[in-house]
Amino acid sequence: MNAYDSLVAAAPFEHACNKTLFWSKTKNLVRDLTKNRDDVVALEDTLLGSVLDGLTWCGKMGSSDFACEDVTVILDGSIDTPFNLSTTFATIEVKRIKHPKVKSLTVVIVPKRAQIKKCSSDPKTPIGKCW
C-alpha cells in the first residue's frame, strides 16, 4: 500500500460530499449510471480512480476517505446474494465507513439490470426513487 501513498497525495479522490456511490457486483451498471448523471460519483469517476480502476487496493485504501455525509451503495438484486459478506465491499469498505464523516448509508438493490437504463436516462430523478 505504501507504494501508492505519494500518488494518492498528488491526486486525491476529490468530489462533492453527498454524491458518493459505492457498488458491489454492479460495476457496469454503475458506470452506465454515472456517465449520464452528475448527482452521484463513483470512485472510478475521479481522476485517480479511473487510472487505477481494477486494482485490488481500491477497497483497502482511499475508499474510507472518499465517503462523506450521505452515501449510496448499489447492489445487484438479480443474484442470490446481493450483499455477500466475503466481498471487498463487505469485508473492508463497510467497516471503514465512519460517523460523523458519513451520516447515512442508503442501500439500493437493483432488481433488474434493465432498470439502470431508465435511471441513467433521467438525471433529474433521485437515485433512490429510480427503482
| C-alpha distance from residue 41 to each of 6, 13, 51 (Å) | 23, 10, 15
- Gap between the Cα atoms of 23 and 71, Å rounded: 11
CB 40 within 8 A of CB 15: no
Domain interval for residue 105: 12-121
The predicted model scores a pTM of 0.67
Domain of residue 50, CATH code? 3.40.50.720
**Does 86 reside within a domain?**
yes
- For the segment 34-87, what is each residue's pLDDT rounded down to a tens digit? 887 888 888 777 777 777 777 655 444 555 567 888 888 888 888 888 888 988
Helical ranges in the chain per DSSP H: 5-10, 27-35, 47-51, 63-66, 88, 94-96, 115-121
- Gap between the Cα atoms of 124 and 59, Å rounded: 29
**Does 126 reside within a domain?**
no
Q: What is the pLDDT of residue 103?
A: 93
Q: What is the pLDDT of residue 131?
A: 53
Helical ranges in 36-105 per DSSP H: 47-51, 63-66, 88, 94-96
- For the segment 22-49, what is each residue's pLDDT rounded down to a tens digit? 887 888 878 877 887 888 888 777 777 7
- Gap between the Cα atoms of 26 and 112, Å rounded: 11
**Does 51 reside within a domain?**
yes
Domain count, the chain: 1
**Does 49 reside within a domain?**
yes
**Does 131 reside within a domain?**
no
